[in-house]
Amino acid sequence: MIKSYQYRPMLYFVMTFLTTFVLWFAGAYVSFQEDKEGLYILFMLPGLMAPFLISVAMIFTSKNSNLKKDFVNRLINLKLIQPKMLPVFILLMPLTVLVSICLSLPLGGSVSQFQFADGFSFSSGFVPVLLLLLLAATFEELGWRGYAFDSLESRYNTYFTATIVFSVLWSLWHFPLIFVKDSYQYEILNQNIWFAVNFFVSIIPMGVIISWVCIKNQKSVIAAILFHFIINISQELLAISQTTKCIETGVLTVVAIGIIVMDKELFFSKKHLDKAIKPTAQSHQVLSLP
């Protein structure tokens, strides 16, 4: 967060939600047109990119050189990533999935969930699903960590409040996807409405965890992208059932609460903003942007 800049969270989120919702609802309509099969992705991709594009627009029209330097630095500076956090990157979400499967077994879950999935749980038109998972992680975090989260930090007194507000907004941002034929959200809604509800609820603890990983890596956007992508892959790699994913939401919630309790000084101290931006500000010295 750059103290010399006046963030505009209301404008950012209104523009992002409006742009994404218009494009995704248009994509939802096209997805049901038989003569235009697969073309809905032409609306979905720009909607997915909206958080990033609006962040870039607000940053580079801000006339604030520090804000521009901060964004570029967090995007390209690999030194921001802390080696001690790498095990969290790689293991946290896969272990969460495995623990959730184990917890499902006494409740009637199948051991076949430990097997690799035969394919992805949804389709994405002419764009390969694996590529879409990478694009989703990349464009979302470029936007959320590029401007959105910092804008919320500037408004609220504690990191905890900013994190919870962000996580709820991030969950609601996905809402139009339940109307897009063949999307993951559409598929689970048609299986059971509670599976869809679970999807939106699960995003909240997930948002807390991603935000924590990002801040622990000196707000590295690359760190957030990598962790987000591993989350996406972990959800698709094994043949995990939707019932087990409901259990997984509980496990994620416990993990998020554990992180908050463990790092309560970060989440509840009003001095957290200075601590968060100090390393990044120091690393600006390696850049020479105008």
Q: Which residue numbers are catalytic?
A: 140, 174
Of the candidates 75, 21, 70, which has an alpha carbon nearest to the alpha carbon of residue 48?
A: 21
Which of 159, 171, 204 is CA-nearest to residue 13? Answer: 171
Given a contact cutoff of 8 angstroms between Cβ atoms, the answer to whether 20 and 50 are in contact is yes
Distances (CA, A) of 171 to 62, 73, 138: 28, 28, 17
Integer Cα distance of 109 and 94 in angstroms:
18
Tell me the DSSP string of 81-99: S-GGGHHHHHHHHHHHHHH
**Per-residue b/e over 17-38, b at no fewer than 16 CB within 10 Å?**
bebbeebbbbbbebbeeeeeee
CB of 180 closer than 8 Å to CB of 28? yes
Q: How far apart are CA 214 and CA 221, in angstroms?
A: 7
